[in-house]
Structures are given as C-alpha cells and as structure tokens.
Amino acid sequence: MPRPRRRRRILGEPQVASFSPESSGSCARIEITLDEFEAIRLRDYHGIQQKKAAEIMGISQPTFHRALKSARSKVAEALVEGRPIILKGGDYIMDRRRYKCMDCQFEWISPGKSYEKCPDCGSENITSVSADTLPRAGRGPGRGFGAGRGAPRVCKCIECGYEAPKTPGIPCRTEKCPKCGAPMCGSD
C-alpha cells in the first residue's frame, strides 16, 4: 500500500483566482492547483532556492520540483494556446504559524522550524505573525486571504527615511537610496 500523500503548506489563497485572455472564446480552461501556484510564487516570484522553498512548503525538494515543473508547463500551455487559467484545488493546508520579514515584507509559513533569517532577502529583522493578526478568509473584492498585501507602493530608506515610488517588478531591496546610498525596503 502506498504511503499517504503529504499535504503541501501554502501561505494562503491567491488574491486572483483566474486569468483569461481577452478573446478566450470557448477554450478549455487550464487548472493550476494552489500548491503549484505556491511553488511558482516562492521560486519564480520571490526567487527562493528550491531547497529552501520546499522546506517552507513542508515537502521534499524533488516533490517541490515536480510541482514547479507542472505549474510552469501549464502556464506555458495557457500562454501559447491563449487559454484561461483557473487557480483552485490541490492537496494543501494553510498553516497559521508564520513569519514576516520587516525589511522586504515577505511572509512565509513555519513548517515546525525556527527561522533566524528571511529566506527571501537574508535579513535578520523578522517577526512571528500570530494567528490573531491574520485576516480571515473570505470571497469577493477587498476581502479574502492576503487582501491589502502584496507589493508595497513605496520604497523607503532604512537609514534616512527617504521614500520613492516603487518600480513594478523590481524589489525594493535591490534599490539604493539616492541620498545616502543605504538599502531601501518596501513600505505602505
């Protein structure tokens, strides 16, 4: 008898559950499971190495690689064939024990391990997020898990407090303050 499938830990449900090209017509939808979405979010969006991302999700690195490969294949198929993408389902759990980096605003799940540094930027300025401070899950605009989070709107200097509008697609931590040359961090 095979061993039971291990549930993958995800941060929460995505803010947007579907993507569709302007003229999708009656094309068949491509379904990406939430654990595949989490693999893409950790590896491709945040740039976390596979071994560390697998640890965050509570799965082995080969399992993480298979989920990531499957998700990338589905995204490529949707882009090439102009088909809509639906994010739903999968074998996952949403753990309420989390950490948050105060420098880059990255949040991650604690799979039974204590963290000293942010897996995204390496900062030691991290805090534990309790279940009481997390938003409740829901549906509809302006609600749901992760509503109001995401990319910061401004980058702020950690030394002098200088603020500049955030450039989409470029993490604040890669920017340097034009006044003092110190690293910038995301801020709302």
| Parts of the chain with a pLDDT under 50 | 131-149
Can you list the positions of beta strands (E) in the chain?
8-10, 18-19, 30-32, 85-87, 92-94, 98-101, 107-109, 126-129, 154-157, 163-165, 184-187
What total number of domains does the chain contain? 2
Q: Interior CA angle at 11 toward 10 and 16, to 5°?
A: 95
Q: What tokens were used for 149?
A: 């989070």
Q: What tokens were used for 61?
A: 């690195």
In a domain, 175, yes or no: yes
In a domain, 28, yes or no: yes
Question: 61 and 77: one domain?
Answer: yes
pTM: 0.53
Question: 53 and 141: one domain?
Answer: yes
* Per-residue pLDDT at 148: 38
Secondary structure (3-state) at 56: helix
* Per-residue pLDDT at 95: 60
* Per-residue pLDDT at 107: 75
* Per-residue pLDDT at 113: 62
* Per-residue pLDDT at 147: 36
In a domain, 108, yes or no: no
Structural domain boundaries enclosing 179: 151-188
